[in-house]
Amino acid sequence: MAADGALLLSLVEEFVSGLQDSKAKDAAKGVKDGAFTVLQLVEALGPSLTSSQPQTRARGVQLLSEVLQDGRAELSQKEVEVLMAFYQNRLKDHHVTTPPVLRGLLALTKCAALPPGSAVSMLRSLFQDVHVQSLMLAERACVYNMLTNLMETREAELKSLGADFVFGFVQSMDGERDPRNLLLAFRIARNLIVQGYDLGKFAEELFEVTSCYFPIDFTPPPNDPHGITKEELVQALRAVLTGTPKFAEFLFPLLIEKLDSEVQSAKLDALQTLNACLSRFEHKDTAEFLQGLWSSLRREVFQTSSEKIESAALAALAALTSCLSRSVLSSESEDVLGRFLEVVLRDCEHHLREPDLKLVWPAAKLLQACCGASYRASRVITAAVLPSLTEQYNGKTQCSQRRTLLEVLQRLVQSVKSSPSTEDDDGALSAHRADLCGVAFSALSESDGSLQIAATALLASLAQQTGLLLESDVQLAADHLTRLLLTEDDGRVSVAVVECAGVLAELHPAAFVTRLIPRLKEEMFSDGREAPQQHSHHALRRRCLSALAAVSTQPSVVQASTPVLLEVLKSALTGGFSLEEAVLACRSLQRIAERVQDTEEAGTCFHDVIIPRLLSLVLKAALQEEGSSGGPLVQEDFLSAVVPVISTSCSRLQPTLAARTASRAISLFLDGDVSFLPENSFPSHLQLLQVEDPRLQKQPEVSWRRSQLVCLLMGCVCSLPRGVEVPRTEELLSRLEEMSCTCRHPPSYTAAAKCFAGLVNKSPEGDALDGLIQRTRRRICGELDSSSPLRMQAFTLLVWVAKALLLRYHPLSAALTDQLFSLLDDADLGAPAADAFLLLMSDSPDVLNRGCHADVRLMYRQRFFSENSAKLVQGFNAAPQEKKPNYLKALSNIVNKLPKQVQVAELPALLSLLLEALTCPDQGVQLSTLSCLEPVIASPPPVLLQQLEAVVGRLLALVCSPAMEVRMSSLRCVRALSLLPTHQVLPFRARVLRALAPPLDDRKRLVRREAVQARGEWFLIGSPGGR
């Protein structure tokens, strides 16, 4: 024990007198190990703590506080009580001892053994003996953290202080300036309100001490290590100001004052704060300020200079109306909401009677905001406004005025709140249904396209009001929409009609099944058209196909519309419909599969009807006799449109049925099993994955027609959810690999490679997958290293398998991508290998994407770039001159797909290569490189400033490029250079201005505009009054 005592005295002496701060950790370790106790440490510190020198006393307290802050000392309640008394006494000591005392008290607030009553005595001493705002930043933070800890653990004790605690806190934070401490103080103030502390007579003081920071005006310094943002402070302060209705009498005048200011940010903050407080306050809190609030909000909408402020003002008005709507009506109480809406109507309604003046729109927006706030407000507003608007519409003759009235009606109808579930109330619009429908149907019968468009929007809004439209209204609407689809050639009208039909069909499917779909089918299949009308008939068919997709969201509509689309494809087999129309029919089927509700009924429709019919049709076209054109269904464009129909169905509709579809497809392609196909007249034992021996030259056209159908197999098996097992995977992969490497038809071997890659991407980890990849790689290398005529096939398989493995971070992906890098020097495959990196970094639309449930890891592009950028640089430096463009193109393809922030961070190391890429004759490389350089120039690294001469020279050489996009992009980069420090760019001013003269006369207006902007910026450099 004597040795321990000597050690303790030695530690104290070395810390206090020797100023060795590291000894605090040794002391803390001694307490933790039991060599001595905290009270023994206090005794050892006795001479230091009673020294006549304040600095010595401060060092002694600092040692004790650091031991406590270490957190390893397990204190008893008695020890905490002694330490608490000691520290409270020390608060009266010299000011140099205050910082370590506060740190010690902070450590004690974290102790579970804090005795009852200690929190109160600590705070009394703190508030009485310490002037917080005279402390340094860290010590003030210490005080706020003490308060936070005690509020979390000793709430009942602190509440016993009553309003004195609030007053003490107000004194502590009054005058705080540091944003970190303000964030702590705002959170404490918020907790005072939320946890129900007694504000007493100090509510106004608490409001004043916090509201003086409103609105927050804070711009964080660059590279701020603390990461405090203006938005954090705004939200923290807003939570305080809007926390209690007791602040209402102080808050509303403050907000009205800020709304009257000319500072846009202050207005926006005030409006957002008003919106927040109105969701918590009651109507009685606003009564005194209603007129002032309404005047300010009305002004911000009628005289707005900012859409953001206008939106915030409308949101605040809706919140105010909603607050007033929560008032309870009784025979003795005043109708606060009704009185407020009378004022709103008085100030807005007369503007609606002048639809050709611009004030109609702000007035309509104000009424719409009120109308959408509550059901009570909806009833008042609609009763006052709708009869006048419908009467005006019927009395006006000018199309522009009638369109305005229709648009105002539509916005009001859209904003109406639904009726609460009461049996004796049909809703705010029920009394106006006939007039509104009459206006809508009347406008749909007009010949003016703008009226028809506005009427479709109104009709859609009416339909979305639950229970408003009668069955007869819906049927009449379906007839009108059908007529417009069949007769209107205006594209804008057609889009609006199709959109409206989609809304109505989702809510009222029966009318569209019985009325619209039969008429569309009749018109699409009508023939005998005269030659001059062929173009309009094709346009009609396009509109009908689009409408069939739009209305098909309910399973009952899908069952009626999809047979029509399949009939279109069947007719295309014999030439009844063109390739373009067949492709549009497939896109309509795909859109239906994307939007239809995932029910068993819809899944059965697609998996048991649509997909088998599609497979049957394309197989029938592929098996037509040699010499026959096969019609549109054998064209690559058509098959590319069929694949998304199948993949979308298998990826999102009924996984169990999708698994069955995939199993059927595999049996069809591996075994020739056609038993599940409708209208089955196919030969048995079809060999769809069998590649014809090219030496036999037997029926080559029929061979590629069959082999290209492998893309349909890809659609089935590569889009299944990862939990669905694909049967016969090993056999299927073997056949796909064989087809990929030996087939001579590019679409066929490409689709086979994509299918192979899609299956590999989802295969489970293990030796089986690794063995498969190694075997495939050996075969690919064998084909690539020889003079085989099948090198392109092997290369295609290499690219797709590399992508499949790269997406899932498979360890063997590096070997395949290294193989791609080595091909950049190949005479035949160098350019395709450079293009392949764009495929690796891009999202593939039909396979290996998240929509197909592929295994795609986060940030795989960034990882690939970081692992391989050095290889590209080394390869470029070692490559012969004629092969360097391949490396530049590969680099450009990789970098251009990285997120902008990654480009800015990584490109400085590659700047020399990027400048070299600007001299590459490939315009695609130039354009992608320019798009990479533009964000780097905006925040230039030192290396760019060092090579400014080369940068300017390369960019000016491209401002007269043959490609318009290159000229525009290079001009934007030249303009960005003008924003660099003046002393850096001034030497280039004359040279740049000369080079920008020819683009001023460019034949393209967009290029001339960029040139004018760039030249204007450069002209200002070094000029009087310029930068």
- Give the 3-state secondary structure of residue 882: helix
CA gap 740, 795 in Å, rounded: 10
Q: Which helix (H) or strand (E) holds 509?
A: helix 509-511
Token pair recorded at residue 76: 């008893």
How far from chain centre, in Å, is Cα 247?
37
Q: Which of the two residues, 20 and 84, has the higher pLDDT score?
A: 84
pLDDT tier at 528, thresholds 50, 70, 90: very low
Backbone angles phi, psi at 849, to 5 degrees: -135, 165
Token pair recorded at residue 587: 């896109």
For the cut 50, the answer to whether the pLDDT of residue 698 exceeds it is no
pLDDT value of position 875:
87
Q: Which of the two residues, 833 and 881, has the higher pLDDT score?
A: 833
CA-to-CA dists, residue 724 to 660, 719, 720, 755, angstroms: 10, 10, 6, 16
pLDDT value of position 695:
46
Q: Which of the two residues, 807 and 12, has the higher pLDDT score?
A: 807
CA gap 369, 412 in Å, rounded: 9
518-527 residue pLDDT tens: 999 999 988 6
**Domain spans, the chain:** 1-86, 552-727
For the cut 80, the answer to whether the pLDDT of residue 406 exceeds it is yes
pLDDT value of position 218:
83
Cα 45–Cα 48–Cα 53 angle in degrees, nearest 5 = 165
CA dihedral 406, 410, 411, 415 (to 10 degrees): 150
CB 310 within 8 A of CB 297: no
Among 216-230, 303-317, 598-612, 949-963, name the one with the lowest average pLDDT.
216-230
pLDDT value of position 699:
43
Q: Which of the two residues, 885 and 411, has the higher pLDDT score?
A: 411
Q: What are the contacts of 474-477 at 24+ separation with CB within 8 A?
A: 474/504, 474/508, 474/511, 475/511, 475/515, 476/437, 476/441, 477/440, 477/441, 477/504, 477/511
Cα 556–Cα 559–Cα 560 angle in degrees, nearest 5 = 95
CB 540 within 8 A of CB 523: yes
For the cut 80, the answer to whether the pLDDT of residue 222 exceeds it is no
CA gap 251, 274 in Å, rounded: 9
965-999 residue pLDDT tens: 999 999 999 999 998 888 888 999 999 999 999 99
What percent of the chain lies above the pLDDT cut of 70? 94
Q: Which of the two residues, 912 and 406, has the higher pLDDT score?
A: 406
For the cut 80, the answer to whether the pLDDT of residue 429 exceeds it is yes
For residue 257, give the amino acid letter: E
Backbone angles phi, psi at 45, to 5 degrees: -80, 0
pLDDT value of position 575:
82
Comparing C-alpha atoms, which of 414, 420, 245 is closest to residue 323?
245
Among 91-95, 453-457, 504-508, name the one with the lowest average pLDDT.
91-95
For the cut 60, the answer to whether the pLDDT of residue 853 exceeds it is yes
Q: Which of the two residues, 420 and 655, has the higher pLDDT score?
A: 655
Among 41-45, 265-269, 329-333, 726-730, name the one with the lowest average pLDDT.
329-333
For the cut 70, the answer to whether the pLDDT of residue 532 exceeds it is no
pLDDT value of position 220:
78
For the cut 50, the answer to whether the pLDDT of residue 697 exceeds it is no
pLDDT tier at 1027, thresholds 50, 70, 90: low
Total-model pTM:
0.80
CA-to-CA dists, residue 932 to 631, 863, 961, angstroms: 45, 18, 18
Token pair recorded at residue 72: 């390893």
752-775 residue pLDDT tens: 999 999 999 999 999 999 999 999
Among 362-366, 886-890, 952-956, name the one with the lowest average pLDDT.
886-890
Where helices occur in 130-178 by DSSP H, the ranges are 137-153, 155-159, 163-173
Q: Which residues of 608-627 are buried (b: 16+ CB within 10 A; e: fewer)?
A: bebbbbbbbbbbbbbbbeee
145-195 residue pLDDT tens: 999 999 999 889 898 888 888 999 999 999 888 999 999 999 999 999 999
CA gap 91, 100 in Å, rounded: 10
Backbone angles phi, psi at 152, to 5 degrees: -80, -35
Q: How many CB atoms lie within 10 A of CB 193?
A: 20
Tell whether omega for the bond before 215 is within 30 degrees of 0, i.e. cis: yes
Cα 296–Cα 297–Cα 302 angle in degrees, nearest 5 = 100
> Taking residues 125-150, what's their average pLDDT?
91
CB 186 within 8 A of CB 240: yes
